[in-house]
Structure 1
Amino acid sequence: MNPLLRKAFNENFTEDKYAEFLLSLNAGLQKPIEFRIAESPVFLTDDFRDKLIQAGEEIIDTILQPGFKELTDRAIPEKWKVANERGHPHFIALDFGICKDEAGNVVPKLIELQGFPSLYGFQVHLAENYRHTFNIHGNQTIFFNGLDKASYLQLLKETILGPYSPEEVVLMDVNAHNQKTAVDFYVTQKYLGTPIVALEELIQEGDQLFYMMGEEKKRIRRIYNRLIFDEIDNDPEIFNKAPDIRQPLDVEWITHPNWFYRISKFTMPFLKGDYVPKTQFLHEVKELPEDLHNYVLKPLFSFAGQGVIIDIMDGDIENITDPENWILQEKVSYEPVVESPDGGVKVEVRLLYLWPDKDEKPTLAINLARLSRGKMIGVRYNKNFDWVGGTTAFMHK
């Protein structure tokens, strides 16, 4: 990480500034942010930024290869297959832990990936508030490929809205206004004008979907999909209360729900390279590694880190009844590269790609970062810590 920018930031940091930052960040929002925001952004060196870009390109090349959809058909649970899949994912997110290699070099290591949207709106809002409160220099950016705020938002509009007007495209999630990430929904609505609609608010007539805008019924041409089926898996009555969105409907998906499964932990065993931990489907492991303590077990079909076995104990593997739905993955050891006032903090950087229909391939556009002191990245592992939570990474333009 950039030592000069880190030193300057820490020397000027105060708890009062952080409190001011949080007030500014929440000002004007429909409700306060419901997840922890870290005290500091991350400052990348040019060298590490370039490694991140290279790592992302190598993974994107695998996703673009012919036959990728056939390779990943098994990834989609039969129960959650949705009709009318589009030709490519409109969003790709790649999560990299910041680690050290055997030579002591700081390198990115892939942790997870998803063909699903992330906080594409909120990250712009977050970076602007970091910049304003902490006087981040103008030569620092959160964007890639020469994008700035205006060109980034134009790319976001092309991806989500396409040829339609904002009122024809809805941002949809189950219990949309009660999601912890609802702040991203509201910021996106501010930038793009897309209405926020809960699954239960969809109205079906024939194969068409509508929503109510005041007293007026509006036709939905596109769904900016933020619904993850894991969240409704335990509600067998869900499609008695709302339209069954798995059926063939005259609506476009941005991005289609099937891509959430295609680009996921399921993809990891097909990836190779210096920035990818060794990963195998559990049922294809012919001989367990002798250093099993250096591996983790991950269920393919789980959400937000649930079910992951970090420290494999005797009997854990033998007790798994569906090994085809698990992966055995080399452990990634995060390096505490961000210096806080009281010690090092671990970092994960998420590269966020946008892929409008008109483009031949995705564009690396923006990033998200998370700081952690716990055993894993995530809220449940970082309770009662400071200098942890959601943030962003700045780098030289």
Structure 2
Amino acid sequence: MHKEAREAFNRSFSDKKYQDFVAYIESAFPGQLDFRVAETPVFIPKELKEQILETSEQIIEVLRSPDFKAKTERAVPETQFVPGENAHTSFLAIDYAICRDENGALVPQLIELQGFPSIFGYQAFLSEAFKMHFDVLPEFQYLFNSDGYNAYVAKLRSLILAGEEPESVILLEIFPEKQKTRIDFAVTAEMLGIQAVCYTKLIREGKSLFYEKDGRKVQVKRIYNRLIFDDLLNYPDLVTSYHFTDEVDVTWVGHPNWFFRISKFSMPFLKDSYIPETRFVSDYAGDFPKDLQNYVLKPLFSFAGSGVRLQVTAADLHALPDPENYILQRKVSYEPVIQAPDGLVKCEVRMMYSWEDQAEKPELLISLSRLSRGEMIGVRFNKDFTWVGGSATFFE
């Protein structure tokens, strides 16, 4: 998007460099990379960066409002409420599509937000790998509020470990060795010394939790949660010692309830020029917009794009048995803005925040980007293309 940065990168690009880049990632974490890495990072110019940051601040003010928890009580399903919720989320991810306005200027448009950790470990590793293998102009940086990679890692350590010994802190997932984001678990283990532990391997004794390590039973004092309830529904026959809703003596970094509160459920509460109109379907009371071709229907309680309808009719909306559990969002038109050798590519940028328990507000640490030529952003919509996939973001 930044003309000079893009031209400098593309001049220096070669397929050999890209192959060496991917080989470096594979060699650093063998067998862990399970998704496509794009050939290029995204270069964000100053003006667009400021628009993204200002919109994010508006969103954060809504999340900090005294009535936010009360407004989002319904977001947490009764059968999935986890005890021990902290006062606010530990993580915040805000996703923006890069678009053009009516004057042709680049602008961000909010797509979604999450009170859930993203790939904080891998993203720093990836960004450093881009700098190592390609030409990135020195006036472009991938970190916020950190003086460098080591300072960034120190901030993650403070948030995730919170003074506990690394072996007493686990990264919790379901079958972590099968997850597409498992490279992030490996990077995080190298960064912080914490182990990814499967939900099925936890041992509950009264209110205490344990896992086995090197033949020893180790007590869990803190959980870095990467497990989404939706994933557990794929394994209805699981027999486990511990259940998510059990009351146990642990602290959470990334408490599960915030995954539900800060999600598509939050979108109708947000208003800004860079936030598309979003309402609960039930709020329309049957009087739906006449131009439904300009809206997308999203179920509140499904994730990773599941159940999203790009083409929706009034009949579809009237037929919903639980309209309060769906949102209708004005469509956003991604602008192809990344110049690849064979055309233009769309992109989405995720701003990634940490939020210490005692801090007044979240702190922006890093970002990621995803490049797409398909109808939607995501791996399943971009098979057999080049210059697409997960990537890093460098800001002027």
TM-score normalised by the shorter chain: which range applies? over 0.9
SS at the partner of 1:141? Answer: coil
Instruction: Find the counterpart in structure 2 of residue 67 from structure 1.
Output: 67
Q: Which amino acid aligns with 2:327?
A: I
Instruction: Find the counterpart in structure 1 of residue 196 from structure 2.
Output: 196
Instruction: Find the counterpart in structure 2 of residue 180 from structure 1.
Output: 180
State the TM-score, normalizing by the size of structure 1.
0.97
How many equivalent pairs are there?
395
Q: Is the 8 A contact 2:371 2:390 kept in 1?
A: yes
Deviations 1:150-201 (A, max 9, x none): 2211111111000211111000100012111000000001000111111111
Instruction: Find the counterpart in structure 1 of residue 162 from structure 2.
Output: 162
Q: Is the 8 A contact 2:80 2:244 kept in 1?
A: no
Q: Is the 8 A contact 1:147 1:365 kept in 2?
A: no
1:359 is displaced (CA, Å) by: 1.8
Structure 1 segment 119-134 matched on structure 2, within 5 A: 119-134=119-134
Q: Is the 8 A contact 1:269 1:280 kept in 2?
A: yes
Instruction: Find the counterpart in structure 2 of residue 80 from structure 1.
Output: 80
Structure 2: give runs of 5+ residues left out of the alignment. none
Structure 1 segment 286-297 matched on structure 2, within 5 A: 286=285, 287-297=287-297
Q: Which amino acid aligns with 1:4?
A: E
- Please give the alpha-carbon distance, in whole angstroms, between the structure 2 residues aligned to 1:138 and 1:177: 37
Give the fraction of aligned pairs with identical amino acids, expressed as a percent. 46
SS at the partner of 2:274? Answer: coil
State the TM-score, normalizing by the size of structure 2.
0.97
1:145 is displaced (CA, Å) by: 2.8
Whether 1:208 aligns to 2:208 is: yes
Structure 1 segment 215-364 matched on structure 2, within 5 A: 215-238=215-238, 240-286=239-285, 287-313=287-313, 315-364=315-364
- Please give the alpha-carbon distance, in whole angstroms, between the structure 1 residues aligned to 2:280 and 2:147: 38
Q: Is the 8 A contact 2:121 2:184 kept in 1?
A: yes
1:288 is displaced (CA, Å) by: 1.4
Q: CA RMSD in A?
A: 1.2
Instruction: Find the counterpart in structure 1 of residue 9 from structure 2.
Output: 9
- Please give the alpha-carbon distance, in whole angstroms, between the structure 2 residues aligned to 1:128 and 1:226: 23
Q: Which amino acid aligns with 2:75?
A: A
SS at the partner of 2:329? Answer: strand
- Please give the alpha-carbon distance, in whole angstroms, between the structure 2 residues aligned to 1:129 and 1:27: 12
Instruction: Find the counterpart in structure 2 of residue 394 from structure 1.
Output: 394
1:147 is displaced (CA, Å) by: 4.0
Q: Which amino acid aligns with 2:373?
A: R
Structure 1: give runs of 5+ residues left out of the alignment. none
SS at the partner of 1:316? Answer: helix
Deviations 1:45-80 (A, max 9, x none): 011111111111110110001011111000111121
Larger mean CA deviation between 302-311 and 317-326 belongs to 317-326
1:82 is displaced (CA, Å) by: 0.7
1:332 is displaced (CA, Å) by: 0.5
SS at the partner of 2:58? Answer: helix
1:84 is displaced (CA, Å) by: 1.3
Q: Is the 8 A contact 2:12 2:135 kept in 1?
A: no
- Please give the alpha-carbon distance, in whole angstroms, between the structure 1 residues aligned to 2:85 and 2:268: 24
